[in-house]
Amino acid sequence: MAKGSEGDDAEVARPQARRAPGIDVARGIAGLIMIQGHAFHAWASPAAKETVAYAATRVLGSLPLPAFLILAGASVAYRVDRGESRGEPATELRHRIFRRGMEIMLWGYGVSIAYGVMDGGLTIDTVLRADVLQVIGLSIAVFAGLGIGGRNIVSARRLTKVAIGLGLGSTLLCPWLSSWAAGLTNLGPSRFWVGLWVDVAGVTRMPFVPLASWFAVGILATQGLLRARSLERGAGFLLLGALPTIAMAYGITALAVDRGLVFSRTSPVIFANVVDLAARGCVVIALGILITPLLSDRVRSALVLLGRHSLVAYVFHIPFCYGALGKPLQGTLSMAEGAILTLVLMVLSYGAVRLRTGSLGVVLIGIKGRARPKEHRR
């Protein structure tokens, strides 16, 4: 979209935005919360699931899904803002981000194949189901394709408009589209394509509608943070807004269900639930930004690394929770036993990230060097 000369000068003069470490710290925190949520859900015994401690893990477990979509939207918003500051061509940036979205979707299908082989349940329905990596990748691709348009210089304004439109549209149309999809029969192979967008029984776990709204929230929240006096100040306002929103939306959902409305994507109850979980995801991003300056360099670096490679941690830990590797533990552990093994799984997942990034050897060399007596050091 072409802009006037005054608008161009104003945008170029604006300082180039850098990706804040707090975003990656938030993603790292979301990764740890994700691991604990899956581990306790899979491993806790029936008796353990009756405890207050387990209920607390379920509350925490509601944070990662919206947080990861919000953080994915945040990454796109940062990249577009940087592209606008640099005066990058929209076509090049759009293709690059779109391609990244497609890569994440392919990762999702590849992971489904790997899990199916490991667990002995390799079927077309398990391989092509719409899951978390598919909806994240699809959201990246769609928002890039529509929000980074034209051949001219990148415009964050266009991304803002698309985020508002798709965010509201995917939420408000959800009950109608989900009801329509529920009535479809004999879709054949096309069910795997339709199931990426809306809830199709037997295919969809995470549909674009309404989950794309969380991606949109990530874009809009980040654009607001970038224009605040400081990231910390903006994150403080984000947190103050998110907490009462959670209470209000959760209360509306509970009241609606108590009055007899069905809690599903085909019901208007989904509106309050979408807002509730969006606000929970915003809490994660706000806390990530706020605590980053308080962390030691080592802890911050570890969380940033985990955040930037959270896909590796996701792929690694799932088989130990729900797959064949975790079968001996499923439904057998007390909360104390689960806590110990959850910590072990977190460490192993972080080790997998370091191994994948090639930084594990550097750490081991450093440990070996520190353990060596001073007189033998070079």
Identify the CA nearest to 39 among candidates 287, 332, 308, 302. 332
Percentage of the chain exceeding pLDDT 90: 84
Section 313-339 average pLDDT: 97
pLDDT band at 5 (very low <50, low <70, confident <90, very high): very low
pLDDT at 360 over 80: no
Q: CA-CA distance, 25 to 140, in Å (whole number)?
A: 20
pLDDT (tens digit per residue) in 185-242: 889 999 999 999 999 999 999 999 999 999 999 999 999 999 998 999 999 999 999 9
Q: CA-CA distance, 34 to 315, in Å (whole number)?
A: 12
What confidence score (pLDDT) does residue 9 get?
35
What confidence score (pLDDT) does residue 14 get?
42
Q: CA-CA distance, 229 to 180, in Å (whole number)?
A: 45
pLDDT (tens digit per residue) in 169-188: 999 999 999 999 999 888 99
pLDDT band at 120 (very low <50, low <70, confident <90, very high): confident
What confidence score (pLDDT) does residue 359 get?
67
